[in-house]
Structure 1
Amino acid sequence: MIVTDSGAATTVLGEGPPRRWRSLARRGMLFSECESIDHVALEPGGLLQADPEAGTEYLWYLIRGDATFHVDAHGPGRTVSTGHAVLVPRGSHGRLESVSSTELIVVTCVPDAVAHRLPPRAPSLTAPARGIPTATNVDHIAYTVPDLDEAVRFFVDVLGADLLYREETIRSDSDDWMREALNVHPRATTDIAMLRLGPVTNIELFEYTAPDQNRVLPRNSDHGGHHLAFYVRDIDEATAYLRKQPGVQVLGEPRLVTAGPIAGDRWVYFLTPWGMQMELISLPAHLPYEQETLHRRFGPCESWSPAQRPAEGDR
């Protein structure tokens, strides 16, 4: 093993050497935090050079052949043989010159110190091939409740949400704005509250009045049926907590899915005091469907609270 300086391993590949294959691995939620693993073949006298301006670290591992590693253009070379690796820290010079026909595994990655300064997506990545142009994320989900004050208290006190703001009553007494914009009766009125629920979800709650209002909540089997699900690490503890909350109805005991794409899932439904359907769900680390697709469900998050709240002076 030849180590020039750093204990971290990674690499940048010049344009010259022929690459036989490439594998990409993502190390974090940002696409910028990634590694590329390349299989490179060099003829005698072929060169592999580290780019000190690229902001990356370098690893060159010889799987066949012999080469000489030079720290800089004028420094003495050091022999590198099959099974040896060269690690070059970020910002350093280095070149590897093959003595014989040589094959290498070249690992290129962006270290955390650099990745944290990069945008959430590398500029070279293209937009999704389908979907809404320029969309970046789901902003919020919304529910209409019978009593906004009651619902806000339940979401905050029982479910752990943060109330962000409430709006003035929205109405239109002289035109069809409510029908045209919101698809409700033109004389409907609504009060709105926005809440932050855990690390990734904004919840908007509406309390409507309307001459043609249907006040029966849909069941799951009805058109418009819905529920809100919470991931929990311990579903038995979470269920016991809900059973103690006034007005909450837990629908039986947690059930286990024993077959199919989400085998290992444990879940239980519960009803809020006004009858809205919700769910607790707890999943194993790996699910059977993951064998069939590269796409993944989101979560779980490390914690319920956002990673960083703004300081008092930034609000």
Structure 2
Amino acid sequence: MLNAVTASPPVHTGLPTARAVDHYAFTVPCLDEAVAYAVDVLGGRLCYREGPVEDPSGDWMTRKLGVHPRARAQVALVRLGPCTNLELFEYTAPDQLVAPPGPNDVGGHHLALTVADPDAAEDHLRRAGTVRLGPADPSGRARRWFLTPWGMLLSVRGPLRPDGRRFVPAPDPHPTAVQSALGLLGVEHVSYTVADLDAGVAFFTDVLGAEVVESGAAPDTGPDGHRPPGAEQSRRVLLRTGPTANCELVQSGTGALRSRPPRNSDIGGHHLAFYVDDVDAAAAYLREQRGVVLMGEPETITQGPIAGDRWLYFSTPIGIQMEIISMPDGSLPYERQTTARRATPGGLRWHDRP
């Protein structure tokens, strides 16, 4: 659990009662494979699995999750490093798209990791069947790009110097053996390719209360290269999203094959979730924001590993689906079955900068 050096008052701009990014969610072809990779290769800890999530005769899946009414999901939550939760979905759905979007496409995405030693991390990833993309950089300083066995993009780079603006991962004080082999310090950022970068930045700053850290073109090579090999050079903006996360938005390329983001049930589907103290207050605020559509009303889970969680999905005008949640950490049913724990904001609030 993280603690701020100095506590700040609750956030008064942006999403009401927000504390932090709670999790990054991705839909994968095989949940067992993705969980094994997140745990055995990336050094995460499995907190819980749940499912099937389904409604065999009604429209709950469409109203609440935006997928086909007969869609069916299995879910797992893996803690990755000191500050990050990965929520992994496996869907079956009659209208599922099985090819994920590419980095130029609207809905393209990747997860950026910070490691202690990029050479050692590359060796570790390659031994686990992770594919390196592009040639090696002679300087050894460039961001390195990889594909997981199921085709999700990862980038890896060495430690960053704190600049007082972006979130910079610090070492986990109690790394696992796998974390030690990877040298994982934490998740640097999540990246999403959007149809309109300016609109995306405006939504993150004006509606969510994020702060711009850096912006400009995304060079293909060099120590600051931000796009995988073969992707178009395009504009990008990095934003600070709360105390322990950064989010990169990238303008989709002129050669994009897809102009619409994937649904939750498609391979490569994704959403971004925020931890808030008051889901109902946050929902009331979002209801008034232009282009935001709430997917039903806030709902409290009554059974399963995270009974007590209050949550709500919402769609945004920039094509990234999002979620607000509030969990009674310390009294969730899964906590009785494992020593693994979700990453939580603890006493941190949105504008704290630990």
Give TM-score, length-normalised by structure 2: 0.47
Contact 2:171 2:186 (8 Å CA) reproduced? no
Q: What value does the CA root-mean-square deviation take over the aligned residues?
A: 2.5
In the alignment, which residue of structure 2 is the partner of 1:128?
A: 176
Q: Structure 2 matches for 1:50-199, cutoff 5 A?
A: 127-131=175-179, 133-168=182-217, 170=219, 182-184=228-230, 188-199=232-243
Give the structure with the larger helix fraction: 2
**Residues in 1 aligned to 2:292 and 2:302: alpha-carbon distance in whole angstroms:** 28
- How many residue pairs align between the two structures? 181
Corresponding position: 1:214 with 2:258: yes
Conserved? CA contact 1:190–1:207, under 8 Å: yes
Deviation at 1:121, TM superposition (A): 7.4
Deviation at 1:184, TM superposition (A): 4.3
- Measure, in 2, the Cα distance between the counterparts of 1:254 and 1:163: 30
Q: What is the deviation of 1:283?
A: 0.9
Partner of 1:288: 333
Indicate conservation of the 8 Å contact 1:189/1:208, yes or no.
no
Residue deviations 1:167-193 (CA, integer Å, cap 9, x gap): 225469xxxxx9xx71545xx331111
Tell me the distance in 1 between the aligned counterparts of 2:175 and 2:320: 37
Amino acid at match of 1:218: P
Q: Distance in 2 between matches of 1:121 and 1:142?
A: 22
- Name the aligned partner's letter for residue 290 of structure 1: E
Contact conserved, 1:235 with 1:281, CA < 8 A, in 2? yes
Task: Tell me which residue corresponds to 1:273.
Answer: 317
CA distance in 2, matches of 1:227, 1:206: 16
Partners of 2:313 and 2:171 lie apart in 1 by 37
What is the aligned partner in structure 1 of residue 149 from structure 2? none
Shift of the 255–183 alpha-carbon distance from structure 1 to 2, 3 Å rule, reads farther
The answer to whether the 8 Å contact 2:171/2:185 transfers is no
Query: Is the 2:171–2:184 Cα contact (8 Å) retained in structure 1?
Result: no
Percentage of pairs with the same residue: 44
Q: Is the 8 A contact 1:199 1:301 kept in 2?
A: no
Give the direction of change, closer, same or farther, for the CA distance of 1:184–1:270 in structure 2 (3 Å limit). Answer: farther
| Native 8 Å contact 1:165 1:194 kept in 2 | yes
2:350 maps to a residue whose letter is W
Instruction: Give distance in 2, aligned partners of 1:223 and 1:126.
Output: 33
Q: Offset at 1:210?
A: 3.4
Letter of the 1:223 counterpart: I
Please, what TM-score do these two structures have when normalized by structure 1?
Answer: 0.53
Mapped to 1, the partners of 2:244 and 2:2 lie a distance apart of 13
Distance of aligned partners of 1:239 and 1:211 in 2 relative to their CA distance in 1, 3 Å threshold:
same
Q: Which amino acid aligns with 1:306?
A: D
Which residue is 1:252 aligned to? 296
Identify the structure with bigger relative contact order (alpha carbons < 8 Å, sequence gap 6+). Answer: 2
The alpha-carbon deviation at position 146 of structure 1 amounts to 0.6
Which consecutive unaligned segments of at least 5 residues does structure 2 have?
4-169
- Aligned equivalents of 1:296 and 1:226: distance in 2? 22
Q: Matched residue of 1:195: which SS? A: strand
Question: CA offsets, 1:36-84, max 9 Å, x none?
Answer: xxxxxxxxxxxxxxxxxxxxxxxxxxxxxxxxxxxxxxxxxxxxxxxxx
Q: Give the Cα–Cα distance (whole angstroms) in 2 for the partners of residues 279 and 287 of structure 1.
A: 19
- Deviating runs (4+, > 4 A) in structure 1? none
Amino acid at match of 1:153: A
Structure 1: stretches of 5+ with no match in the other structure:
1-27, 31-119, 173-177, 309-315
Question: Secondary structure in 2 aligned to 1:144?
Answer: strand
Written as runs of structure 1 = structure 2, the 5 A alignment for 1:13-24 is: none
